Amino acid sequence: MRRLLIDSHVALWWLSGAAALGPTSRAALTDADVVLYSAVTPWELGIKESLGKLTLPEDLVDALTNTGFTPLDITADHARRAAALPPHHRDPFDRMLIAQAQLESLVIVTADGSFGDYDVDRLDART
């Protein structure tokens, strides 16, 4: 059973049909048993939109859910694991994704190379 967790930029690439999302990753997302997006994604992207760094679909959560992706809530166990991760990466949103992937046995689809510093399965979104 292939269960994937998408990084926030992958969510945007998927929704916009961006060429940055490689064919292997696009096929993996299409063929996966389940594709999850973390509660971190609308939070992180909403902050970036409020800072004028990007423009989002009118309702990002509905857009992601309508594509068949499943939301993944943040639990206290996720928070505990994120806080205990080694400080290879300081981005709190990414640290939460790593913690969720570890605890839920998920493969993270991301273009962020720093995820490789952690014990987590990942798929390079650019491939």
The pair of three-digit structure tokens given for residue 49, joined into one six-digit string: 């939109």
pLDDT at 119: 93
The values of phi and psi at residue 84, to 5°, are -90, -5
Q: What residues of the chain score a pLDDT lower than 70?
A: none
pLDDT at 116: 87
pLDDT at 89: 82
Contact status, residue 119 vs residue 102, Cβ threshold 8 Å? yes
pLDDT at 90: 86
Quickly count helices (H) and strands (E) in the chain: 6, 5
Rounded-to-10 torsion of CA 112, 59, 100, 126? -20
pLDDT at 50: 96
Instruction: Specify the fold of 3-124.
Output: Rossmann fold (3.40.50)
Pick from 87, 88, 109, 125: nearest CA to 97: 109
pTM for the structure as a whole = 0.95
